[in-house]
Amino acid sequence: MWDRLWINLNIATMMPATDASDDPYGCIHDAAIATSGSRIAWIGARADLPAAPDTLAHTVIDGHGHWMTPGLIDAHTHIIYAGDRSTEFEKRLNGVSYTEIARQGGGILSTVTNTRAASEDTLLSLAMERAQRMIRAGTTTIEVKSGYGLTLEDELKQLRVARRLGEVLPVYVHTTFLGAHAFPPEYVDRQDDYVSLLIDVVLPRAAAEGLVDSVDAFCENIAFGPAQVRRLFDRAMELQLPVRIHADQLSDTGGGSLAAQYRALSADHVEYVSEAGVMDMAQAGTIAMLLPGAFYFIREKHAPPVALFRRHGVAMGLATDCNPGTSPATSLTAIMNMACTLFRMTPAEALAAVTRIGARGLNLQDSTGRLATGMMADMAIWNVSGPHELSYWIGGLTPITRIFHGVPDAT
């Protein structure tokens, strides 16, 4: 027998449409879905069940006509940090420049200072609070980056916390090494030496300890240059680690094309990516991971080229980019609304971006992000009129039930 069987619900499977006229949500009305262990064992119309529900499963659950979707996937976050930068928001609105805030001890280096000073247990407690907000909003998979330590021990500390986060919460955690996030004050005049430290010491150690699922870098004119990023990515390739990249957020540095050269899982932000970069990404199968929370928060005016992504067949993902400086966001449904209103994505594109495509961005497409037999049973049930409504509310929308690996969340 199956462990659990849900009946009397509607399901947005998020299976890819095979024809332009197909339903982009892959809907099954008056559906049923069964789980065995952590996997989906059966899915289809309730009328097609092979026998009476109570003879098929140990537990039968009435969905009361609600909508089920895959659990949401947040494929770009920076949730492991200490310190508070909310006062910087007020200062900026009162006319204080980012440069002046940095001179006053604020900015990313203030987060680095506070994160270095915090213990693993403190960082875990803080990260759990943020992750629990994400879970309440329907997220079942979270990518978590390092990048606020910028020393060997502090980067390892962040990555260990990320691994522990996936052990103490039901959410699945994908860990990303982002030592190339900023230059630490100790290396401000020795930038290439810092890159060498990452390549020769920090990344190999983190990989050897099993703490890294992918490698990221912030490629921008205020951060790491393309040549420095190539050095890091070459080392990642030697260690057989996939890469992703913060690319073309503030200017066109060729980050999209650079991502394509390494067949990066995703190029993130990409507001300024060129058409040539988009075409390279399309050929490489690199996802454009759009981050409207940061776009909104820093009041950016140059939107990512969504029309070009559509024209050239580049899949678009969405993520919160949750971080203390530019995107204090934890709700993926709020991000979906921003993507629709600010970037003119459709609700169907937005939901695919945080399910099926988000899974691709973490190399998890064979296990999550869609509802089909054999897939991981990470799911959410919503009291909505249809899957389009997930992009309608400006935050605040939460599922009435979250299912992790086939087990309903008790919280």
Q: What's the CATH number for 2-70+368-408?
A: 2.30.40.10
Q: Check residue 99 and give its pLDDT.
A: 67
- The whole-angstrom separation of Cα 83 and Cα 75 is 23
Q: Does 194 appear as a known binding residue?
A: no
Residues 6 or more apart whose Cβ sits within 8 Å of residue 364? 73, 141, 172, 174
Q: Does 249 appear as a known binding residue?
A: yes
8 Å CB contact between 8 and 339: no
Domain 72-242+313-362 has CATH 3.20.20.140: yes
Q: Closest Cα partner for 132 from 404, 405, 406?
A: 404
Q: What is the DSSP letter of 71?
A: P
8 Å CB contact between 40 and 71: no
- The whole-angstrom separation of Cα 107 and Cα 101 is 6
Q: Does 148 appear as a known binding residue?
A: yes
Q: Closest Cα partner for 391 from 382, 401, 400?
A: 382
Q: What is the pLDDT along the chain (411 residues), one digit of tens a residue?
A: 999 999 999 999 999 987 766 899 999 999 999 999 999 999 999 999 999 999 999 999 999 999 999 999 999 999 999 999 999 999 888 988 766 887 777 888 899 999 999 999 999 999 999 999 999 999 999 999 999 999 999 999 999 999 999 999 999 999 999 999 999 999 989 999 999 999 999 999 999 999 999 999 999 988 999 999 999 999 999 999 999 999 999 999 999 999 999 999 999 999 999 999 999 999 999 999 999 999 999 899 999 999 999 999 999 999 999 999 999 999 999 999 999 999 999 999 999 999 999 999 999 999 999 999 999 999 999 999 999 999 999 988 999 999 999 999 866
Residues 6 or more apart whose Cβ sits within 8 Å of residue 91? 101, 106
Residue recorded with tokens 């759009």: 290
- The whole-angstrom separation of Cα 212 and Cα 217 is 14
> Is 21 in a helix, a strand, or coil?
coil
Q: Does 321 appear as a known binding residue?
A: yes
Q: Does 64 appear as a known binding residue?
A: no
Show the tokens assigned to 6.
């849900």
Q: Does 388 appear as a known binding residue?
A: no
Residues 6 or more apart whose Cβ sits within 8 Å of residue 369? 14, 70, 73, 355, 356, 357, 358, 359, 360, 375
Q: Check residue 324 and give its pLDDT.
A: 96
- The whole-angstrom separation of Cα 61 and Cα 101 is 54
**Alpha carbon of 82 to those of 41, 110, 115, 123, 158: distances in Å?**
42, 9, 5, 6, 11
Q: Does 181 appear as a known binding residue?
A: yes
Q: Does 78 appear as a known binding residue?
A: yes
Domain boundaries, the chain: 2-70+368-408, 72-242+313-362
Q: Check residue 20 and give its pLDDT.
A: 65
Residues 6 or more apart whose Cβ sits within 8 Å of residue 281? 256, 257, 259, 260, 267, 273, 287, 288, 312, 314
Q: Does 76 appear as a known binding residue?
A: yes
Q: Check residue 21 and give its pLDDT.
A: 65
Question: Beta partners for 45?
Answer: 31
Q: Does 326 appear as a known binding residue?
A: yes
Q: Does 323 appear as a known binding residue?
A: yes
